[in-house]
Amino acid sequence: MTASDADAPTLLFCHTVGPDRGADLRDRLLDRGLPADRVVAAATPAETDEHVADADGLVLGRLPDGLLDRADSLRWVQALSSGTDYLPLDDLRERGVALTNAAGVHAEPIGEQVLGYLLSFERNLHALGRQQAEHRWERREGGELRGKTVGVVGVGAIGTRVAELATAFGMDVWGVKRDLDTMPAVVDEARTPDALHEVCLAADYLVLACPLTDETEGLIGGDELRLLGGDGVLVNVARGEVCDQKALVGALRSHLIRGAALDVFEEEPLPQDSRLWDLSNTIITPHVAGNTPHKPERWADILAENYRALADGDDTELRNRVL
């Protein structure tokens, strides 16, 4: 593919990607051989509006109101996130627009952060950190991850990496996934969602790594937390709405479960008056588990691959297709 390809599709980076990020990703795509006159990075809403009618592909952060109605040539939307619950999926489906996400881009940093949470609870590092801040010397008995059980709810790219890292530490991995035929071999015990309670009962650590859907909203509530029990720790790197936050606060305050490590919340930023801030058995991080300096290069690889599939007219080859 060269810059002279007159029939090549036009790819537009919406201004909601951010002017610096959009320009950087455009440069990375040109380095990968995409035609310069067919890749546009909009810095302002006006620039998005100027080019959207001719765009065959659209890369976005959020979707501005009414933009789809002006996208007359649109065939493909690329989200820079793994989750796509914030997009009008029904509208895209009705328009016949393909949707792809960035699954896999965040798997390594999120997997490593989850392992950090597990180590923090197993070795009491979160409690020891508070002691340091208080200049208090108090020895604590730490445990070992080896031989413990981790349940991973949602074994996609992120859940698979969590399973791989947990296995490296000698943990027993239970995975929950709708299609057991695609469950990775690294999972020791595979279960479908209707066996979630069995997994909660078995797990020392329960990691939520599933997308937010109608089926997963409120998936973890009082019943599941009771089954996780007083030795269990909940880790949520999925979406805040996957867990009933009111039930979770109650379980943490009453020590129904041992603790929780949370990177996502029902409301973000987490309100200053949330009880979660002050709970000693809770680790709170501000939705940063997916942050990594390697995101741009991974995004560009997906974008280049999908652009070429669009140019070849073969949308069955689109990577990470959601719709």
CA distances from 5 to 36, 96, 135, 199, 214 (A): 10, 25, 67, 53, 43
d(CA 262, CA 260): 6
Cβ atoms within 10 Å of 321's Cβ, excluding its own: 16
For residue 15, what are the contacts with CB-CB under 8 A and spacing of at least 6?
22, 42, 43, 44, 45, 47, 48, 64
d(CA 272, CA 269): 9
User: Is residue 70 within 8 Å of residue 38, measured between CB atoms?
Assistant: no
Secondary structure (DSSP) of 259-296? EEEES--SSSSPPTT-GGGG-TTEEE--S-TT--TTHH
Catalytic annotation, pick one of 75, 287, 319, 321: 287
User: Is residue 42 within 8 Å of residue 59, measured between CB atoms?
Assistant: no
125-133 vs 107-122: helix crossing angle, rounded to 10: 70
SS3 205: strand
* Structure tokens that stand for 8 in this block: 């090549």
Active-site annotation holds for 191: no
Secondary structure (DSSP) of 24-59? HHHHHHHHTT--GGGEEE--SHHHHHHHGGG-SEEE
Active-site annotation holds for 287: yes
d(CA 45, CA 58): 14
For residue 272, what are the contacts with CB-CB under 8 A and spacing of at least 6?
none
d(CA 265, CA 261): 11
Active-site annotation holds for 21: no
Catalytic annotation, pick one of 26, 51, 239, 258: 239
The letter for the amino acid at 159 is G
Catalytic annotation, pick one of 267, 268, 297, 317: 268
Task: Tell me the catalytic residues.
Answer: 239, 268, 287
